[in-house]
């Protein structure tokens, strides 16, 4: 499980990103799984929805990495 401190740090870093940067990070995300969204789909989403997608992916990856190393 991800710690509260790590969650807050991740959430704050994502909250400051604009739509272009969020889209780029989603398209280039390297985690346990591939995020496979079309450019057209991502373009239609709000910045808040893009933040939600990226935060969920990052938390899932960090949570997995934490349990693998402890």
pLDDT tens sequence across 37-48: 999 999 999 999
Please tell me the total count of domains within the chain: 1
**35 is in which domain, residue-wise?**
4-69
Q: Distance between CA atoms of 18 and 12, rounded to whole angstroms? A: 13
Write down the pTM of the prediction: 0.80
Enter the tokens of residue 30. Answer: 């390297």
| Long-range pairs of 34-38 with CB within 8 A, sequence gap ≥ 24 | none
pLDDT recorded at residue 68: 43
């Amino acid at each position: 499980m991800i710690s509260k401190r790590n969650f807050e740090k991740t959430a704050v870093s994502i909250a400051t990103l604009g739509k272009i940067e969020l889209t780029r990070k989603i398209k280039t995300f390297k985690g346990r799984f591939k995020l496979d969204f079309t450019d057209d789909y991502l373009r239609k989403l709000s910045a808040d929805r893009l933040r939600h997608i990226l935060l969920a992916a990052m938390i899932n990856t960090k949570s997995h990495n934490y349990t693998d190393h402890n």
